[in-house]
Amino acid sequence: MALDVVDLRAFYASPLGHVARRFIGRAMLRLWPDCGRQRLLGLGFATPYLSVLGAGAERVLAFMPAAQGVVNWPSEGLSASALVEPTLLPLPTASIDRVVLVHALEETESPDDLLEEVARVLSPGGRVLVVAPNRRGLWARMDATPFGYGRPFSRSQLEALMRGATLAPENWAEALYVPPLRGRLFMRSAPAWERLGSSLSLPFAGVHVIDATKQFYQRAPLRATRRSFAFRPVLLPQATPTPTPRIAPRIAPRAGGPPETGSPG
Protein backbone atom coordinates (compact mmCIF):
# COMPACT_ATOMS: atom_id res chain seq x y z
CA MET A 1 0.00 0.00 0.00
CA ALA A 2 1.44 3.36 -1.05
CA LEU A 3 1.82 6.11 1.51
CA ASP A 4 -0.41 9.14 1.24
CA VAL A 5 1.14 12.56 0.91
CA VAL A 6 -0.97 13.81 3.83
CA ASP A 7 0.54 11.17 6.15
CA LEU A 8 4.05 12.01 4.96
CA ARG A 9 3.53 15.70 5.60
CA ALA A 10 2.11 14.96 9.06
CA PHE A 11 5.10 12.77 9.94
CA TYR A 12 7.64 15.46 9.09
CA ALA A 13 5.64 17.96 11.14
CA SER A 14 5.96 15.73 14.22
CA PRO A 15 8.94 15.69 16.66
CA LEU A 16 10.09 12.31 15.33
CA GLY A 17 9.90 13.67 11.79
CA HIS A 18 12.07 16.63 12.82
CA VAL A 19 14.66 14.17 14.13
CA ALA A 20 14.61 12.21 10.86
CA ARG A 21 14.92 15.34 8.76
CA ARG A 22 17.76 16.64 10.90
CA PHE A 23 20.02 13.59 10.74
CA ILE A 24 19.23 12.55 7.16
CA GLY A 25 19.79 16.14 6.07
CA ARG A 26 23.20 16.14 7.76
CA ALA A 27 24.20 12.98 5.91
CA MET A 28 23.04 14.52 2.62
CA LEU A 29 25.06 17.69 3.19
CA ARG A 30 28.19 15.66 3.92
CA LEU A 31 27.84 14.02 0.51
CA TRP A 32 26.54 17.08 -1.37
CA PRO A 33 27.83 20.20 0.38
CA ASP A 34 27.06 22.44 -2.59
CA CYS A 35 24.46 22.22 -5.37
CA GLY A 36 25.06 25.71 -6.70
CA ARG A 37 24.23 26.27 -10.38
CA GLN A 38 22.74 22.78 -10.63
CA ARG A 39 19.35 21.64 -11.89
CA LEU A 40 18.00 19.67 -8.93
CA LEU A 41 15.07 17.23 -9.00
CA GLY A 42 13.43 15.66 -5.93
CA LEU A 43 11.46 12.49 -6.63
CA GLY A 44 9.12 10.86 -4.10
CA PHE A 45 8.58 13.05 -1.05
CA ALA A 46 11.84 14.98 -1.01
CA THR A 47 10.53 18.45 -0.16
CA PRO A 48 11.74 18.38 3.48
CA TYR A 49 15.29 18.06 2.13
CA LEU A 50 15.13 20.17 -1.03
CA SER A 51 15.10 23.36 1.02
CA VAL A 52 18.44 22.25 2.52
CA LEU A 53 20.11 20.99 -0.66
CA GLY A 54 18.59 23.47 -3.10
CA ALA A 55 20.20 26.63 -1.73
CA GLY A 56 21.94 28.26 -4.67
CA ALA A 57 20.64 25.75 -7.23
CA GLU A 58 19.74 27.01 -10.69
CA ARG A 59 16.37 25.25 -10.63
CA VAL A 60 14.61 22.95 -8.14
CA LEU A 61 11.70 20.62 -9.02
CA ALA A 62 9.66 18.37 -6.74
CA PHE A 63 8.00 15.41 -8.52
CA MET A 64 5.62 13.23 -6.49
CA PRO A 65 4.24 9.82 -7.58
CA ALA A 66 0.64 9.62 -8.69
CA ALA A 67 -0.13 6.86 -6.18
CA GLN A 68 1.09 9.09 -3.35
CA GLY A 69 -0.48 12.43 -4.21
CA VAL A 70 0.99 15.89 -4.45
CA VAL A 71 1.11 19.01 -2.30
CA ASN A 72 2.01 22.53 -3.27
CA TRP A 73 5.71 23.33 -2.76
CA PRO A 74 7.18 25.74 -1.86
CA SER A 75 4.55 27.35 0.29
CA GLU A 76 5.47 30.81 -1.03
CA GLY A 77 5.95 31.85 -4.62
CA LEU A 78 5.41 29.80 -7.74
CA SER A 79 4.78 26.10 -7.31
CA ALA A 80 7.62 23.74 -8.28
CA SER A 81 5.80 20.47 -7.51
CA ALA A 82 4.01 18.14 -9.93
CA LEU A 83 2.19 14.81 -9.96
CA VAL A 84 4.00 12.31 -12.21
CA GLU A 85 4.40 8.66 -13.09
CA PRO A 86 7.88 7.85 -11.65
CA THR A 87 8.89 5.57 -14.51
CA LEU A 88 7.75 8.07 -17.19
CA LEU A 89 9.11 11.43 -16.11
CA PRO A 90 7.99 14.42 -18.24
CA LEU A 91 11.55 15.60 -18.78
CA PRO A 92 13.91 15.50 -21.77
CA THR A 93 16.86 13.14 -21.75
CA ALA A 94 19.96 14.47 -19.95
CA SER A 95 18.13 17.54 -18.65
CA ILE A 96 18.85 17.26 -14.90
CA ASP A 97 22.16 17.55 -13.05
CA ARG A 98 21.18 16.00 -9.70
CA VAL A 99 18.30 13.83 -8.47
CA VAL A 100 17.26 13.12 -4.87
CA LEU A 101 15.15 10.01 -4.19
CA VAL A 102 13.33 9.95 -0.84
CA HIS A 103 10.32 7.70 -0.12
CA ALA A 104 10.46 6.61 -3.75
CA LEU A 105 12.59 3.51 -4.32
CA GLU A 106 10.97 1.43 -1.57
CA GLU A 107 7.46 2.38 -2.73
CA THR A 108 7.71 1.63 -6.45
CA GLU A 109 6.69 -1.71 -7.94
CA SER A 110 9.72 -1.77 -10.23
CA PRO A 111 12.93 -0.31 -8.71
CA ASP A 112 14.86 -1.23 -11.88
CA ASP A 113 12.59 0.83 -14.13
CA LEU A 114 12.64 3.76 -11.73
CA LEU A 115 16.43 3.95 -11.61
CA GLU A 116 16.68 3.54 -15.37
CA GLU A 117 14.33 6.49 -15.83
CA VAL A 118 16.38 8.54 -13.36
CA ALA A 119 19.52 7.68 -15.32
CA ARG A 120 17.80 8.78 -18.53
CA VAL A 121 16.99 12.29 -17.32
CA LEU A 122 20.43 12.71 -15.70
CA SER A 123 23.08 14.50 -17.70
CA PRO A 124 26.37 12.62 -18.33
CA GLY A 125 28.26 12.66 -15.09
CA GLY A 126 25.13 13.70 -13.18
CA ARG A 127 24.62 12.49 -9.63
CA VAL A 128 21.79 10.85 -7.72
CA LEU A 129 21.29 10.71 -3.96
CA VAL A 130 19.15 7.80 -2.75
CA VAL A 131 17.64 7.49 0.72
CA ALA A 132 16.28 3.97 1.32
CA PRO A 133 15.30 2.01 4.45
CA ASN A 134 17.94 -0.34 5.82
CA ARG A 135 16.78 -3.97 5.90
CA ARG A 136 18.55 -4.54 9.22
CA GLY A 137 17.43 -1.30 10.85
CA LEU A 138 14.70 -0.76 13.42
CA TRP A 139 12.96 1.90 11.32
CA ALA A 140 12.11 -0.66 8.61
CA ARG A 141 10.54 -3.02 11.19
CA MET A 142 8.05 -0.55 12.67
CA ASP A 143 5.21 1.05 10.73
CA ALA A 144 5.06 4.10 13.01
CA THR A 145 7.13 6.00 10.42
CA PRO A 146 7.08 6.14 6.58
CA PHE A 147 10.34 4.16 6.51
CA GLY A 148 8.44 1.13 7.82
CA TYR A 149 6.40 0.84 4.59
CA GLY A 150 7.42 -0.59 1.27
CA ARG A 151 10.52 -2.63 0.55
CA PRO A 152 13.71 -2.21 2.63
CA PHE A 153 17.10 -2.84 1.07
CA SER A 154 20.51 -4.10 2.03
CA ARG A 155 23.63 -2.35 0.84
CA SER A 156 24.46 -5.07 -1.69
CA GLN A 157 20.93 -4.93 -3.14
CA LEU A 158 21.12 -1.17 -3.64
CA GLU A 159 24.53 -1.45 -5.26
CA ALA A 160 23.30 -4.11 -7.71
CA LEU A 161 20.22 -2.04 -8.62
CA MET A 162 22.29 1.06 -9.32
CA ARG A 163 24.93 -0.68 -11.38
CA GLY A 164 22.18 -2.25 -13.47
CA ALA A 165 20.97 1.27 -14.31
CA THR A 166 24.49 2.55 -15.24
CA LEU A 167 24.77 4.39 -11.90
CA ALA A 168 28.07 3.92 -10.09
CA PRO A 169 27.85 4.23 -6.26
CA GLU A 170 30.70 6.34 -4.94
CA ASN A 171 29.86 7.40 -1.37
CA TRP A 172 27.81 5.73 1.37
CA ALA A 173 26.38 7.00 4.63
CA GLU A 174 23.92 5.81 7.26
CA ALA A 175 21.55 7.74 9.48
CA LEU A 176 18.84 7.26 12.13
CA TYR A 177 20.52 5.07 14.71
CA VAL A 178 18.03 6.29 17.31
CA PRO A 179 15.05 3.92 17.76
CA PRO A 180 11.83 5.21 16.12
CA LEU A 181 10.07 5.82 19.41
CA ARG A 182 8.24 9.02 20.29
CA GLY A 183 9.24 9.21 23.96
CA ARG A 184 10.95 12.34 25.19
CA LEU A 185 13.94 10.38 26.42
CA PHE A 186 14.71 9.07 22.94
CA MET A 187 14.15 12.47 21.39
CA ARG A 188 16.63 14.09 23.75
CA SER A 189 19.22 11.33 23.39
CA ALA A 190 19.01 11.20 19.58
CA PRO A 191 22.34 13.04 19.02
CA ALA A 192 24.11 10.59 21.32
CA TRP A 193 22.63 7.64 19.42
CA GLU A 194 23.84 9.10 16.12
CA ARG A 195 27.37 9.77 17.39
CA LEU A 196 27.67 6.30 18.87
CA GLY A 197 26.28 4.52 15.84
CA SER A 198 28.39 6.39 13.29
CA SER A 199 31.62 6.11 15.30
CA LEU A 200 31.23 2.34 15.76
CA SER A 201 29.74 1.73 12.28
CA LEU A 202 26.85 -0.19 13.80
CA PRO A 203 24.76 -2.18 11.28
CA PHE A 204 21.27 -1.17 12.48
CA ALA A 205 21.00 2.35 11.05
CA GLY A 206 17.52 3.29 9.92
CA VAL A 207 18.37 4.36 6.37
CA HIS A 208 21.07 4.14 3.73
CA VAL A 209 22.16 7.34 2.00
CA ILE A 210 23.97 6.61 -1.28
CA ASP A 211 25.67 9.02 -3.66
CA ALA A 212 26.05 7.63 -7.20
CA THR A 213 27.25 9.05 -10.52
CA LYS A 214 25.85 8.35 -13.95
CA GLN A 215 28.36 6.54 -16.12
CA PHE A 216 29.35 8.04 -19.45
CA TYR A 217 28.96 4.82 -21.42
CA GLN A 218 26.22 2.25 -21.84
CA ARG A 219 27.31 -1.24 -20.95
CA ALA A 220 26.24 -4.12 -23.17
CA PRO A 221 23.66 -6.30 -21.41
CA LEU A 222 25.06 -9.64 -20.30
CA ARG A 223 22.14 -11.56 -21.73
CA ALA A 224 22.64 -10.08 -25.19
CA THR A 225 26.34 -11.02 -25.08
CA ARG A 226 25.51 -14.58 -24.22
CA ARG A 227 22.93 -14.80 -26.96
CA SER A 228 25.44 -13.60 -29.55
CA PHE A 229 27.66 -16.62 -28.83
CA ALA A 230 24.85 -19.14 -28.52
CA PHE A 231 25.08 -22.27 -30.72
CA ARG A 232 22.85 -22.13 -33.74
CA PRO A 233 22.49 -25.04 -36.20
CA VAL A 234 23.72 -24.31 -39.74
CA LEU A 235 21.64 -25.65 -42.61
CA LEU A 236 23.81 -26.44 -45.62
CA PRO A 237 22.32 -26.78 -49.14
CA GLN A 238 21.99 -30.30 -50.37
CA ALA A 239 23.07 -31.49 -53.83
CA THR A 240 20.33 -31.51 -56.44
CA PRO A 241 19.26 -35.12 -56.99
CA THR A 242 19.75 -36.50 -60.53
CA PRO A 243 16.43 -37.54 -62.08
CA THR A 244 16.14 -41.23 -62.82
CA PRO A 245 15.70 -41.86 -66.59
CA ARG A 246 12.34 -43.22 -67.52
CA ILE A 247 12.44 -46.70 -68.93
CA ALA A 248 9.87 -47.49 -71.56
CA PRO A 249 7.71 -50.44 -70.64
CA ARG A 250 8.09 -53.57 -72.64
CA ILE A 251 5.08 -54.78 -74.66
CA ALA A 252 4.54 -58.41 -75.34
CA PRO A 253 5.34 -59.30 -78.99
CA ARG A 254 2.59 -60.09 -81.35
CA ALA A 255 2.32 -63.53 -82.71
CA GLY A 256 4.63 -63.96 -85.65
CA GLY A 257 6.22 -60.50 -85.31
CA PRO A 258 9.28 -58.85 -83.61
CA PRO A 259 9.02 -57.46 -80.02
CA GLU A 260 7.80 -53.90 -79.72
CA THR A 261 8.86 -51.20 -77.25
CA GLY A 262 7.31 -47.90 -76.21
CA SER A 263 3.75 -47.00 -75.67
CA PRO A 264 1.15 -47.36 -78.36
CA GLY A 265 0.48 -44.32 -80.45
CA dihedral 81, 84, 89, 92 (to 10 degrees): -50
- Segment 108-123 mean pLDDT: 96
Residue 106 confidence (pLDDT): 95
At 38, the amino acid letter reads Q
Residue 3 confidence (pLDDT): 85
DSSP string, 146-208: GGGSS--B-HHHHHHHHHHTTEEEEEEEEE--S-S---HHHHHTHHHHHHHHHHHT-S--SEE
Residue 229 confidence (pLDDT): 41
pLDDT at 140 over 60: yes
pTM over 0.85: no
Q: Is 94 exposed, middle or buried (0-12, 13-18, 19+ CB in 10 A)?
A: middle
Instruction: Please give the Cα distance from 25 to 21 (Å, whole number).
Output: 6
pLDDT at 136 over 50: yes
pLDDT at 244 over 60: no
Residue 166 confidence (pLDDT): 93
pLDDT tens string 149-199: 999 999 999 999 999 999 999 999 999 999 998 888 888 899 999 999 988
Residue 217 confidence (pLDDT): 62
pLDDT at 65 over 90: yes
Residue 112 confidence (pLDDT): 95
Q: Is 74 exposed, middle or buried (0-12, 13-18, 19+ CB in 10 A)?
A: middle
Tell me how many degrees the CA angle 26-32-38 measures, rounded to the nearest 5.
Answer: 135
Whether residue 168 contacts residue 213, with contact meaning beta carbons closer than 8 Å, is answered with yes
pLDDT tens string 68-77: 999 999 988 8
Give me the domains of the chain, ranges plus CATH numbers.
5-214 (3.40.50.150)
Instruction: Please give the Cα distance from 16 to 117 (Å, whole number).
Output: 32
pLDDT tens string 205-227: 999 999 999 987 655 444 444 44
pLDDT at 245 over 90: no
